Amino acid sequence: QVQLVESGGGSVQAGGSLRLSCAASEYSYMYIGWFRQAPGKEREGVAGIYSGGGATRYADSVKGRFTISQDDAKTTVSLEMNSLIAEDTAMYYCAAGLASGDRWANRWANRDEYDNWGQGTQVTVSS
């Protein structure tokens, strides 16, 4: 079972940038997703990447500001976050799943499609 460890969170002023990393113990998944959860809110999908072909997906709220990528070994997935706003403040989690590409394409932001989760890293954006 793949283990995931997030890093890179921190505190930043609005307009700033952060780069989160998700380190996987092995390449035994089909896709990785980044989710976030703010206090009192549901956990929501932010970005996802299908490891086989590199296809990516983004939530509308982060399109144009966040970029998800993976390294050549496919054991580290990064989330580059630019132009951060206060509404981006949340605990960020990465998660891994095994479903097919067609299923992932339509359900990448659904928490139920992910089998393994990291412990999370906190991102705080001050305005």
Q: Confidence band (pLDDT; 50, 70, 90) for 120?
A: very high
- List, for residues 55-95, the tens digit of each pLDDT value: 999 999 999 999 999 998 889 999 999 999 999 999 999 99
The answer to whether the Cα torsion of 115, 116, 119, 124 is positive or negative is negative
Cα(66)–Cα(19) distance, integer angstroms: 9
Q: What are residue 58's phi and psi, to 5 degrees? A: -135, 145
- List, for residues 99-119, the tens digit of each pLDDT value: 888 889 999 999 999 999 999
As a whole number of Å, the CA-based R_g of the chain is: 13
**Average confidence (pLDDT) over 4-13:** 98
